[in-house]
Amino acid sequence: MTQHQRMIYLDDALALPGCPVCRMTLQRVAQTLASIEAELVLDPTWREQVDSAWGFCNLHAQQWLDQAQPLSTAIIYEAVLGRITRQLEQRLPSRAGPGNVRSRIAGMRSGGAQREVLVAPGVCPLCRTRDEQERQIVAHLLRELKSDVMRTRYAASDGLCVVHLDLALATSPEPEVLDALRTRLVERHEVLRSELRDVIRTHDYRFRDAEAGPQWNAIAGAVRHVAGSPGIDGRRARPDRGD
């Protein structure tokens, strides 16, 4: 059984390095991708979603190419290309003379009313899955953190990344939950900042002969702690609170 087939639950994720919400969300996305290829490529309802989205966003298109079979990709993108062609023909009909086409292109370049040639694509299906899973997993974690046992487990974990902490804070968690989140975040930041200062110090010529230690892992760790793991879109995860 592969990692994508075996469901990772909250207790498992808290015992592993990194943000538990990132880990669980990305696994659910990978499972959804596998399900799409195995079951949904020819499903009319799902095909309308993926066709209207022009397939997948850049990030998930690359993930799809890495994991999916060529036949599934060919079926999806043959239809996507056909849809884009039809949209283009509706906006720039073939009966329009060269002058009319050039006029429209000039309008696009000048920012005129004719700028949008193709209709805006829908939301990438895998982005939708990721966003839904993030919200559900964060809500589940906050409910569990009402218990002393779970708060103890959380205190021993790496805690949430900044992206998912922000998402959690938007729900106005209860005081004991908020305190658990805040305490673990401050502790995590103290460790990461100390390690990053060690990295900075080793670039001083006086310490150029110092051996590289585990603090160098803090570079990638700090970036992922703030931005989320690769595949997480922090801008999507953060709700618009009017700040």
DSSP states of 189-211: HHHHHHHHHHHHHHTSGGGTTSP
pLDDT of the residue at 101 = 46
Pair of tokens at residue 161: 């990344």
Supply φ then ψ for residue 163, to 5 degrees: -55, -50
The confidence score (pLDDT) of residue 207 equals 54
Burial class of 211 by CB neighbour count within 10 A (0 to 12, 13 to 18, 19+):
exposed
Low-confidence ranges of the chain (pLDDT < 70): 1-6, 93-119, 203-216, 234-243
Quick one: pLDDT at residue 111? 53
CA 163, CA 186: separation in Å to the nearest integer?
Answer: 15
Question: For the chain, what is the largest distance between any 2 Cα atoms, rounded to a whole number of angstroms?
Answer: 73
The two three-digit tokens of residue 67, written as one number: 């994991």
Range list of H helices, the chain: 10-14, 20-35, 44-52, 58-67, 70-91, 98-109, 125-144, 148-155, 162-169, 175-202, 217-227, 234-237
User: What's the confidence (pLDDT) of residue 242?
Assistant: 44
